[in-house]
Structure 1
Amino acid sequence: MSSEALMEKPMSGKCRCRHQSWYLVLISFLLWFTLFYLYSSSITFGKNGDSFLGNNHTDFVESSESFHDVARQETGDSTDVTDVSGGDNVEEASNEPEKEPKPMSFSVDGAENVDQVLALDKDLEADNQTMAEENETESVDIFSGKENGDDQLSIEAVNTRDEDNKPFDPSSMEEKGTEEVAKQKGTESVSELQREENEDQPVDSFPIVKSKRERAKPSRGRNGNKPADSSPVVEKRIENVAVEIPRRQNVLRAKSDSSSCSGRYIYIHDLPRKFNEDLLDNCRSLSFWTDMCECASNLGLGATLPSNEKLYSRTGWFATNQFLLEVIFHNRMKQYKCLTKDPSVASAIYVPYYAGLDVGRYLWDPDGFMRDYDAVNLVKWLAARPEWKKMWGRDHFLVAGRINWDFRRDPKNESDWGNELLNFPESKNMTMLVIESSPWNNNDFAIPYPTYFHPSRDDDVFQWQNRMRRQKRRFLFSFAGARRPNLHESIRNEIIDQCLASRRKCRFLECDKSQKCHKPVYLMKLFQSSVFCLQPPGDSYTRRSIFDSILAGCIPVFFHPGSAYVQYIWHFPKDYTKYSVLIPANDVKSGNANIERILQRIPREKRVAMREEVIRLIPKVIYADPSSRLGTIEDAFDLTIKGVLDRVETVRNQMRDGQPVNSEFDEQESWKYFTFGKLGVHEWDPFFSSKLGKPGT
């Protein structure tokens, strides 16, 4: 061959050496591309504590972004990242500081956020596992950025770890059993098998079907090393899950509520409007002296108090009338989480009759007929209802926002005080809740007067308690009230005289025509500046001032056990010495008791402990804002509901066993039985030898 021919071959572009050069360039490029891909993938998944090959999470993937962009977003453009091939713990090899994994939350079509993993149906898991195994041998172009179809749905599982901080492996469900895994992770499966095995268990989370926009974001595949292919079979299964989620969520949530509300369901009677709503609509007629329309505003809380950060906290303070409890309670009942529309499953039945507002219109009317009119019609209406015949009303309860004496008129004297609501046979079967009960009757129970504080959050209560702990108190004791010259048994005169004689130790707020005692700014200022607050009987045994002083962290001083100890048995500790002082009224009346001297003898350590106990009582004597619901705190409403349910259950057991209800004690000694659970001679017997405390006695 001539030299000219040899020189022409390279010019044809078919030289063997040049072919080899292009192959080397191409192989180098592919090798570089593969290394770059592995490097980017390890960064992308390293954030979740898994290497690219060691990921155990289950996800369907559709990618429209490069893995390089995702890695840059995940690492915050950081370049100081060490790649450890095949490592199980990327966090140990990374130079970045260790961070707490953040909980992921998703929402679809109004569904609630989820905090935990919920395993998929076994059938879906088996299908997808098979698909993933078949796809392991197939090549997948994950860099094309092409969507596999707009109708494909994807499901992401939340990155959840067990107690040993190890990634949760869904495959372990087959080895340990779905029930054990669900218990280990604190969740329940939505599979048919688990729904049958866990009928009453709550479900906190569900697989989330992502929107079209979310599907454009890259995600890890089921096996962690490559995404799952789109498949009509898979798409069909996922569509089934998407349809099933809302239905299963409602069913399982209902079963969860059923489990937590077992034995706590309450049914509310739908009374005719004249027993409640009409009274509020005609609020101008409820009182001759007070604007009850303003008092009934804000769900019965009254007008919001002006901002005064020196005396109140920023929110939750209202000018609440002491006789609006039945309205407040009714609005709280509407928020009760275990209400039912089926009276046959109810443990108790609530009667929303505004008895106090009703009788308050006619208390000073000599005609007893009008005072009894609505009360008589109410018990007739109740007795005719089928719900009544279940236990003949013994599962019914009613809240009357006045003292019991306003509903216990002498049947023989129509012109006597109040009406006869608590004397009716039907009423004696019900649990009657009043702000002051009778020590000698067994069908009424006392619950706290409403105060001015109605928080809407737990933190509001905690902050107020801490504030009262730090409060500086200038006076040893104080008293807010007026003299009772027409009541021979009253010790008001002696108390006021002793307080005035000790001006440096005692502060007196006179409840005169200026109505200062009805203005919270004066009361809270007085109680917050005092170590002890005197709480003698007034027109009756109890006073709203008791609860206002507790709210201010002031230790109450009682002069009769009927003022608190035998009254609020569901709300106050049985050991009254922990939070209060008892000075017998007879000792004060006879001049044998010097209040200042008695209180000064109490050691400082004891005072501090007593004040702390009083401050702990604050949540138990307040009614939260009816428009909200507290988290972990049980307020006066919650404790009352517990007390009612326990009492109804006791009565129900007595009826089931064929025992006469309340046959364990004589009704005249009901104060002794309900307070101590036993009868016999007691040191307080002289206090209850006669029916003191009734207005006008």
Structure 2
Amino acid sequence: MAKRKSLEKEENNEEWSFGLDSYSIKFLSRISIFVVLLVILFVWCSSSIIISSSTLNLCVLSWKLYNSSSVSIGSSRSTYDKPISLINKTHLSDSEFTRPMLGKGVDKAKVEEMVKSRKGIEEKVVVLKSYVANSKANDCEGRGIYVYDLPSKFNKDLVDKCNEMMPWLNFCRYLSNDAMGEPIQGLGNGWYNTHQFSSEPIFHKRVLVHPCRVYDQEQAKVFYVPFYGALDMIKCHFSKDDSELKNAHVLSKEIVEWLEQKKTWRRNSGLDHVFVLGKITWDFRRKANVPWGSPLLELDELQNPIKLLIERQPWYINEVGVPYPTYFHPKSDEEIIAWQAEIRQADRRNLVSFAGTPHKQWENVRSILIKQCTYAPNECKFVNCGGESCVESSPVVKLFMESEFCLQPPGDSPTRKSMFDALVVGCIPVVFDPLTAHYQYPWHFPEDHRKYSVFIEQEEVRISKVNVIKELVKVPLKKREEMRKYIIDELMPRLVYAHQAAKLEKFEDAITIALNNVLEMGLRRVQV
């Protein structure tokens, strides 16, 4: 098998000299500066800058997120791609997400661009779905997974420094109980106050006790790299005096240097290696002179490995979305069954609810939904999560348990932890962008999104064509009951992160599904 090497960045350092006098040089310099300023202004106007919690996040939203040439903050491309001829073309017929919008106020050119881009993304989703394993999770013949014992600076030391993560927050409380957090009183067994960025240590704990774990590298088909990149990024960016900000790139480069010393890495150029990263992909795409993020996913050496993230880059098939950690961590099938029974009987007094904050920077779909919700108090309940009003999980969980539909508009990025919090308690999510869920989590969500969600195109909400609350009122009771039955009986168990000590026989949780498919993906990639 021809080994696939990471792309080499080409640098052209050509020097030009002109026979010009000093006046001409000054004149040309001013023109150059003017052109640069125009370019900066264009970029500024073409993207969205979001400032919150004293941090700066660059988030490529709306139309730009569907443009394959601008979707990545970086320029690195994976050197591995499955031949398009292997994709089942029957799955690529027009979906609900690729139907062009028509009518007054619609920019036809932008719509056409978006439709074309969504079709391209859907091809990538089909490729990722093709890796869903037929093998059972405990079928380990020829499917060994080796867990690297990394130097402690890459994981354990980061957890030990949890008191340095966020000066305004006791982050250590979220990393207690094997990173599930402190127990939540009043919600029953298996409920913990889990932080949305804690998937790295949770996955690590689980893979250490995986039935297919092997201790001999020569028996392994997949290699797990337990680098806590999200915790490293949080520590560097939220230090008390910003003294750690200059070190945001250090561990990212050192983990690559460590791996390059390993024969197992060099053998397949990292194709059979997997990382779990507990923040969204954009937080790992830091470029030079950009103050936010880690450069980990911009490194050429990181283009080949499989990356599991809570939000993936939609154009790269080496990145796979996995559910955000929710608050429910069952230890047994019986705890799941008991929770299913409880949420079936929940008193859903609100037709619609929304827990979130408005964005003051621009009039986006979230702000419009808040207005629509507050204007219909008999049908919709809005909880403003500004400040620390939604830090405690119990009130939000109870709100969703009391609601038929839960609105899930994009925020700083397309995905939301709230999407999974809603599903775990049986609330039907209302989604406004396929990048929020349908294009993100191909291993955990079914192909037919209508089984578990309502989709309303956000651009139609923006141009005032759709009143979301009025549309949801029209959904028949029978349809709502069918969707909720599917969510509770079929989907919910696949989205929870079971307790490390869990003994599940009837159900497979989110981590079991992810690791089983990673084994399939790793095996097939090195066999091509």
Secondary structure of the equivalent of 1:606? helix
2:302 maps to a residue whose letter is S
Q: Give the match's secondary structure for 1:296.
A: helix
Instruction: Tell me, yes or no, if the aligned pair for 1:383 and 1:426 is still in contact at 8 Å.
Output: no
Match of 2:306 in 1: 431
Measure the CA separation in 2 of the matches of 1:644 and 1:259. 13
Deviation per CA, 1:204-227, whole angstroms, max 9, x where unpaired?
A: xxxxxxxxxxxxxxxxxxxxxxxx
Retained in 2: the 8 A contact 1:367–1:415?
A: no
1:589 is aligned to 462
Q: Tell me the equivalent position of 1:71.
A: none
Query: In the alignment, what sits opposite 1:577?
Result: 450
Matched, 1:473 2:348: yes
Q: Report deviation, 1:386.
A: 1.2
2:406 is aligned with 1:554: no
Q: Take 2:264 and 2:228, find their aligned partners in 1: how far apart are those partners?
A: 20
Which of 167, 174, 181 lines up with 1:302 in the alignment? 181
Q: 1:277 aligns with which of 152, 156, 160?
A: 156
The equivalent residue for 1:541 is 414
Tell me the residue number matched to 2:172. Answer: 293
Say which of 289, 294, 303 aligns to 1:419.
Answer: 294
- Structure 2 gaps, min length 5: 1-135
In 1, Cα distance between the equivalents of 2:345 and 2:461? Answer: 32
Question: Which letter maps to 2:406?
Answer: C
Tell me the residue number matched to 1:350. 224
* Aligned match of 1:377: 254
1:635 Cα deviation (Å)? Answer: 0.1
The answer on whether the counterparts of 1:406 and 1:417 sit within 8 Å (CA) in structure 2 is: yes
**Please, which moves more after superposition, 545-554 or 627-636?**
627-636
State the AA in 2 paired with 1:425: D
Q: Write the letter of the residue equivalent to 1:354.
A: Y
1:417 deviates by 2.0
Deviation of 1:560 after TM superposition, in Å, equals 0.3
Question: Match for 1:325: what amino acid?
Answer: S
Amino acid at match of 2:344: R
Q: What are the within-5 Å matches in structure 2 for residues 202-213 of structure 1?
A: none
Matches within 5 A, 1:222-233: none
Higher mean C-alpha deviation, range 352-361 or range 285-294: 285-294
AA aligned to 1:576 is: H
Task: String of CA shifts for 1:133-170, please: whole Å, max 9, x gaps.
Answer: xxxxxxxxxxxxxxxxxxxxxxxxxxxxxxxxxxxxxx
Superposition map of 1:499-514 within 5 A: 499-513=373-387
Change (3 A) 1:258 1:506: closer
Q: Could you say which structure has the greater relative contact order, defined with CA pairs below 8 angstroms and 6 or more residues apart?
A: 2
Equivalent in the alignment of 1:181:
none
Equivalent residue letter for 1:556: P
Q: 1:392 maps to which residue?
A: 269
Q: Which amino acid aligns with 1:328?
A: I
For residue 403 of structure 2, the aligned residue among 502, 507, 530 is 530
Residues in 2 aligned to 1:641 and 1:259: alpha-carbon distance in whole angstroms: 11
**Equivalent residues in 2 for 1:187-198, closer than 5 Å:** none
Counterparts of 2:523 and 2:143 in 1: how far apart (Å)? 10
CA distance in 2, matches of 1:516, 1:355: 28
Please name the residue that 2:215 is paired with.
Answer: 341
Task: Name the TM-score, length of structure 1 as normaliser.
Answer: 0.54
Structure 1 pair 433/487, CA: closer, same or farther in 2 (3 Å)?
farther
Partner of 2:522: 648
Alpha-carbon distance in structure 1 between the residues aligned to 2:361 and 2:469: 26
Aligned-partner SS, 1:388: helix
Query: Is the aligned partner of 1:401 residue 2:401?
Result: no
Cα offset for 1:305?
1.4
SS in 1 for 2:237: coil
Alpha-carbon distance, 1:263 to partner: 3.1
Contact 2:311–2:440 (8 Å) recurs in 1: yes
In structure 1, give the amino acid aligned to 2:173. Answer: E
Higher gyration radius (CA)? 1
Q: What pairs with 1:164-179 in structure 2 (closer than 5 Å)?
A: none
Task: Quote the Cα distance in structure 2 between the aligned partners of 1:268 and 1:480.
Answer: 39
Which residue of 508, 511, 514 corresponds with 1:634?
508
In structure 2, what is the Cα distance between the partners aligned to 1:401 and 1:498? Answer: 33
Residue 331 of structure 1 aligns with which residue? 205
How far has the Cα of 1:487 moved from its partner? 4.0
Query: 2:63 corresponds to which residue?
Result: none
Over residues 647-683 of structure 1, what are the superposed CA-to-partner deviations in whole Å (9 max), with x where a residue is unaligned?
21221122xxxxxxxxxxxxxxxxxxxxxxxxxxxxx
Q: Deviations over 1:61-94 (max 9, x none)?
A: xxxxxxxxxxxxxxxxxxxxxxxxxxxxxxxxxx
Which whole-Å CA distance do the structure 2 matches of 1:496 and 1:279 have between them?
38
* Unpaired stretches in structure 1, ≥5 consecutive residues: 1-256, 655-697
Displacement of 1:442: 3.0
One-letter amino acid of the structure 1 residue matched with residue 474 of structure 2: R
The residue aligned with 2:325 is 450
TM-score (norm. length: structure 2): 0.71
The alpha-carbon distance between structure 1 residues 389 and 318, as it changes in their structure 2 partners (threshold 3 A), is same
What SS is found at the alignment partner of 1:518?
A: coil
Amino acid at match of 2:383: L
Q: Does 1:494 align with 2:368?
A: yes
Give the whole-Å Cα distance in 2 for the aligned partners of 1:343 and 1:560: 42
Query: Residues of 2 paired with 1:604 and 1:559: CA distance?
Result: 22
The code of the aligned residue for 2:326 comes to T
Answer yes or no: is the 8 Å Cα contact 2:351–2:379 preserved in 1: yes
Matched, 1:459 2:338: no
1:48-127 matches, within 5 Å, as none
Give, in whole Å, the separation in 1 of the partners of 2:245 and 2:286. Answer: 9
Alpha-carbon distance in structure 2 between the residues aligned to 1:594 and 1:649 = 48
Residues 262-281 of structure 1 deviation map (CA, whole Å, 9 limit, x = unaligned): 13211000100100111112
1:264 to 143, 147, 150: 143
Letter in 2 for 1:271: L
Question: Following the alignment from structure 1 to structure 2, what is the Cα–Cα distance between the partners of residues 263 and 549?
Answer: 38
One-letter code of the match for 2:349?
R
CA displacement at 1:368 relative to structure 2: 6.2
CA shift for structure 1 position 366: 9.3
Q: Does the Cα contact within 8 Å between 2:423 and 2:487 map onto a contact in 1?
A: yes
Whichever residue aligns with residue 296 of structure 2, its letter is: L
Counterpart amino acid of residue 350 in structure 1? Y
Distance 1:286 1:258 in 2: 35
Distance (whole Å) between structure 1 residues aligned to residue 486 and residue 137 of structure 2: 36
Structure 2 letter corresponding to 1:342: D
In 2: Cα distance, 1:593 partner to 1:367 partner: 47
Q: CA, structure 1 residues 462+512, in 2 after alignment: closer, same or farther (shift >3 Å)?
A: same
Q: CA 1:560–1:260 in structure 2 vs 1: closer, same or farther (change >3 Å)?
A: closer
Please report how far the alpha carbon of residue 259 of structure 1 lies from its aligned counterpart in structure 2 after TM superposition: 9.6
Q: Distance in 2 between matches of 1:535 and 1:635?
A: 23
Find the residue that maps to 2:252 and give its secondary structure.
Answer: helix
Confirm or deny: 8 A CA contact 2:144 2:212 kept in the other structure.
Answer: yes
Question: What CA distance in whole angstroms lies between the structure 1 residues aligned with 2:395 and 2:193?
Answer: 13
Deviations 1:505-555 (A, max 9, x none): 001111022x23221221111101110000000000001100100011000
1:258–1:405 distance in 2 versus 1, CA, 3 Å: closer
Q: Which residue of 2 aligns with 1:233?
A: none
Does the Cα contact within 8 Å between 1:516 and 1:522 map onto a contact in 2? no
| In 1, Cα distance between equivalents of 2:290 and 2:270 | 29
RMSD: 1.8
